[in-house]
Structure 1
């Protein structure tokens, strides 16, 4: 059984939570429906369930609906903590992209876009400029192979990454 097959056993709200986390951007109901492969009404019901679940938890995260769609985000009351924990020169999206590269790398940029969305192009450029990521064009010239640099290990004080 593949890992995708094992997703069929999960609650729809849990799948939606995973999609919102991985994409780290607002997603329309239509996009969410496409990603989880379920009926629109079922997705809408599961989103409401998930939003209520987060509203009742004592959690740092929340699901919000914006003009662009639904997103999983840090509650506003944690903004001060974000400012102290995250370097000003790296945003949350870039950090999530960096984490994906660190955990999945080396990874093709096209695969990373499939995983995280088109915002990856800007994140990768920013991360490469700051020296956290190495970009190497593939022999076929169609994509870049990405992996974290020595600066990543030094900056985040990591000796080695977990094997997954």
Structure 2
């Protein structure tokens, strides 16, 4: 009987599934991976694994997302440190910039994407659609692009407005002021009428 598996075997199966998936797994997926049909037993083991990773590991964790899924991931504070060690990113840098533009401006037309990102944007979109991070809707001869739930799930985004604010804050931190803005000096406060 499958429910008679020892808890250490169930834990090993869940660890293996979370590690190899490279994406968040739903509770139903974890139940299948665990080798048991018991949601209660699976969740008990997952919660023990969450506690165990918090005390055992410093840079990695098993985290529960708002939608209830679990993910084996690098703790967010270590992302900048390891970014330089990632040899072959899932998304090339140029396509990632296109993805961030779509995420920020969505819905955005193909015409606007070409104006902003250039004609190479079509190859970026092909990559992003293959990864199922963006989808399009035909509006006459134009295509209108937006991000997908898979994009949100993969990047751990639960609130698009919060994501937009974070993108703005990150961009403002990384971008030096333009020469024109620097020459103009600090912004003036509006005068009272």
For this structure pair, what is the TM-score category when the shorter chain's length is used for normalisation?
0.3 to 0.5
**Is the radius of gyration larger for structure 1 or structure 2?**
2
Normalising by structure 1, we get a TM-score of 0.47
Normalising by structure 2, we get a TM-score of 0.40
